[in-house]
Amino acid sequence: MEIRANFLPPFYGNNRSWIEEFAVCDRSVPGMSVNRLSRLAATQCRSLSTLRDRAIQLEPKYLYEPKFEDPRVYPEYDLINVRLQGYDYVPLEKFQSYVHKIAKRFKFEIVESYAVAAKTERVVVYKPNSTLVESEIELATYDRVIRIAKVPTVRLPLFIFLIHTHLPIGVKLTVKGHEKADEDYRYIPDLLLKQKQEELKSLDDPLVRKNLGWE
C-alpha cells in the first residue's frame, strides 16, 4: 500500500517520534520510510506557514470595517481661542477638561490651555424706591482659555455645536480668532511698572525738562 502526501494529516512541531511509531506499528506501509514521512511532514508545514505569510496583515480596527481614504483637503484656521467664563469654579474646571478631550478627539492641535486671573465685581442691591443699601455682593468671574490650531473649517461648526450642547448652566462660551489683545489680557498688569514708564515718558516733555533745569 502506498500513502500519498495529500492524505497526510497536518504536522506541527517536532512529530518525528509520532512518525517513527506510525512507520513501525503500521505494517501495511512497507514502502514508506521514516525519512520520507519526515520530508512530507516538513513540506506540509512549510506550505502552511507560506499561506500564513501571504495573508494580508490588517490592524484590529480594520477587521470588520475597511479603511476609507479621504483625498479632499480643507482649509484650516490658524489659531482659535475657546474662552470659558463662569462664577462657579468647580463646573468651569470640569468643563475645561471636557473641551480639552473633545478637541483631541477632533484631532485639533492643543497649543495652550491656561487660566486667567479672576475678575472681582461688587454688586449693590438697594431697597425699593430708595437709595438705602440692602445688601452687597462680591462676584468673582473665573476665566479659562483653550487655544487650538490646525482646525479644519468643516469640523469647527460641529465642535462648537457639541460643546455648546453640553455647556453647564452659568458658563459663558466664546469662540474667536486669536489676537494680540488676548495675549496681553492673560497677564496681570504691573501698576508700579506702568507708573515708572509714564514718568520716563514725561521726561521727554520740554516743559518738564526745563522745570528740572536740564535745559
pLDDT of amino acid 196: 79
pLDDT of amino acid 6: 43
148-168 burial code (b ≥16 CB/10 A, e <16) = beebbeeebeebeeebeeebe
Asked if the model's pLDDT at residue 98 lies above 70, the reply is yes
Query: Three-class SS of residue 8?
Result: coil
Q: Residue range 7-25: average pLDDT?
A: 46
pLDDT of amino acid 19: 46
Q: Which residue has the higher pLDDT, 204 or 39?
A: 204
- Kindly report, residue by residue over 183-204, the tens digit of the pLDDT: 888 877 777 877 878 888 877 7
Query: Three-class SS of residue 17?
Result: helix
Please tell me the least confidently modeled range out of 27-31, 68-72, 186-190. 27-31
Query: Three-class SS of residue 144?
Result: strand
Computed over every residue of the chain, the mean pLDDT equals 79
Q: Residue range 86-104: average pLDDT?
A: 95
For 20-101, strand residue ranges (E) read: 76-86
pLDDT of amino acid 24: 43
Asked if the model's pLDDT at residue 105 lies above 60, the reply is yes
pLDDT of amino acid 49: 55
The Cα 147–Cα 116 span in angstroms is 13
pLDDT of amino acid 20: 45
The Cα 44–Cα 5 span in angstroms is 8
Q: What domains can you pick out in the chain, each with its CATH number?
A: 5-54 (no CATH), 76-188 (3.30.70.600)
pLDDT band per the 50, 70, 90 thresholds, residue 102: very high
- Kindly report, residue by residue over 45-67, the tens digit of the pLDDT: 555 556 667 777 778 777 787 77
pLDDT of amino acid 206: 78
